[in-house]
Structure 1
Amino acid sequence: MANGCVQIVGCMSAFAGLICLMVATYASEWKILSHSTEVDIQVTRAIMIISIILSACGLAVVVLGMKYTLCLDKDKHVKNKVAFVGGILITVAGVCSLGIVSWYAHAVVNTQKPRPFLGKCLFLGWGGALLSITGGVLLSCCGLSQSTPRRSYTSPHSVQLASSKVYV
């Protein structure tokens, strides 16, 4: 039960991160009063789009491997491995977006000498990246924790106490 709840929280976090990354990529306020070139923004948005595609593919894979879905229900080990791979894809997407947003912020801070102004999209990108990383790690851990079969230890013989006394 707890593992299914963690999967749902991880999936919701990854989905919220995907939405934040999409809004950050689409919006135009990456910098305020900056004189940097348009090439920086194009490279950043291209890598953000790659990150969005990775995250969307990861979410699609994770849905197949979640505990509460009926897909791949016959083999639990395959289902757990699918959930693990989806979590890894989402984590990689979050790391890519975190890296490129941080690189762009570093470029803006280094080119603006009097006072750097970071746009709202950078903060939204950082938040989306952290949500994606958190969701991906949670989903990967859920996939790993169920992949090993659990053993139940029972005694092979039941022990009966023989007593001839009757207690009242």
Structure 2
Amino acid sequence: MAASIIQLMGFMLSALGLFLISAATAMDMWSLQDRSFTVVTNIYTYSGLWNSCVGTAYGTTQCRPYFTILGLPALLQAVRALMIVGIILGAIGCLIAIFSMKCLKMGSMDDNIKATMTLTSGIMNLLAGICGIAGVSAFANLVVQSFRFTTYADGGFSMGGGGMGGGGIGGLTGSLTPRYTFGPALFVGWIGSAILFIGGIMMCLACRGMAQEGNYDGMAYKAASHHTIYKTDPRSRPAHLDSYKAQSQEGRMSNQRFDYV
């Protein structure tokens, strides 16, 4: 009973984690523009694995997909591959988990086969969670490195005088390079991958419990058959036994004749 509950909880967590990493992969807010030092905050940019978007404070958004993969960074392409592989592994693991549920009866499938299928599903969910965590962490590292090494294009603020041509006292000279920070999709991907990883561990634990419940210590009992078959002895017998048998048969025949008389 405990193995069935653990298996069901592992399946539910795996399905939830698969949904979350799929949603994170489709989201566009993987990196969000940091508006801490920007003067105009009504317009901001953000980007994901597939699109680069511009949003406004009024709720309008315009996105432009990446039309080519040749000009994209290699790390971004690796993140794409990791997330897609994680989704595929998680989907196959959840599909196998459905057929390995102990509460479902499918033909003559015994508990040992279901335990093996549950272990396979748990391993695939574990790998899917690892792929998701690795992909999201790699993109987060890319955002951190970009944020650290992004500086002002022209030395920052000009404090000297010089009229309007020089920017004036306290004027801002040069342009600021936009910096990007973590988007909501990263947190969704982390949480979904962690849930998927935990679901895979629970499936593996359920497999161990199902295997122990399927093994019984004892001797098999086979009922005796009611029909007894006698076999003739093919070995040759001594001559004195055959003569004794003939004499006994003649004696019985003589007795029978005597009885009838």
Q: Shared fold (TM-score greater than 0.5)?
A: yes
What is the CA deviation profile of residues 24-51 of structure 1, one whole-angstrom value per residue up to 9, with x for unaligned ones?
000100001289x843434312220110
Please tell me whether Structure 1 or Structure 2 has the larger radius of gyration of its CA atoms: 2
Deviation at 1:4, TM superposition (A): 1.1
Question: Letter of the aligned partner of 1:15 in structure 2?
Answer: A
Q: Distance in 1 between matches of 2:141 and 2:107?
A: 44
Asked if the contact 2:31–2:183 (Cα under 8 Å) also holds between the matched residues in 1, the reply is yes
Question: Letter of the aligned partner of 1:60 in structure 2?
Answer: L
Structure with the higher fraction of residues in helix conformation: 1
Question: Letter of the aligned partner of 1:81 in structure 2?
Answer: T
Question: Letter of the aligned partner of 2:97 in structure 1?
Answer: V
TM-score for the superposition, normalised by structure 2: 0.54
Match of residue 104 from structure 1: 139
Match of residue 166 from structure 1: none
Asked if the contact 2:3–2:207 (Cα under 8 Å) also holds between the matched residues in 1, the reply is no
Q: Distance in 1 between matches of 2:84 and 2:91?
A: 10
Gaps of 5+ in 1: 154-168
Aligned length: 152
Task: Say yes or no: does 1:127 pair with 2:191.
Answer: yes
Structure with the higher fraction of residues in strand conformation: 2
What is the CA deviation profile of residues 105-127 of structure 1, one whole-angstrom value per residue up to 9, with x for unaligned ones?
11110111267610111000000
Q: Distance in 1 between matches of 2:108 and 2:76?
A: 44
What is the CA deviation profile of residues 91-117 of structure 1, one whole-angstrom value per residue up to 9, with x for unaligned ones?
110011101111111111011126761
Decide whether aligned partners of structure 1 residues 125 and 73 sit closer, same or farther in structure 2, where only a CA change above 3 A counts.
farther
Match of residue 71 from structure 1: 106
Gaps of 5+ in 2: 34-45, 48-70, 151-178, 219-261
Asked if the contact 2:13–2:195 (Cα under 8 Å) also holds between the matched residues in 1, the reply is yes
Task: Say yes or no: does 1:118 pair with 2:182.
Answer: yes
Decide whether aligned partners of structure 1 residues 4 and 69 sit closer, same or farther in structure 2, where only a CA change above 3 A counts.
same
Asked if the contact 1:14–1:59 (Cα under 8 Å) also holds between the matched residues in 2, the reply is yes
Match of residue 6 from structure 2: 6
Asked if the contact 1:24–1:121 (Cα under 8 Å) also holds between the matched residues in 2, the reply is yes
Deviation at 1:80, TM superposition (A): 0.4
What is the CA deviation profile of residues 116-151 of structure 1, one whole-angstrom value per residue up to 9, with x for unaligned ones?
610111000000000000001001110122213444
Asked if the contact 1:30–1:120 (Cα under 8 Å) also holds between the matched residues in 2, the reply is yes
Identity of aligned residues (%): 28
What is the CA deviation profile of residues 57-102 of structure 1, one whole-angstrom value per residue up to 9, with x for unaligned ones?
0001111111111236532111101111011101110011101111
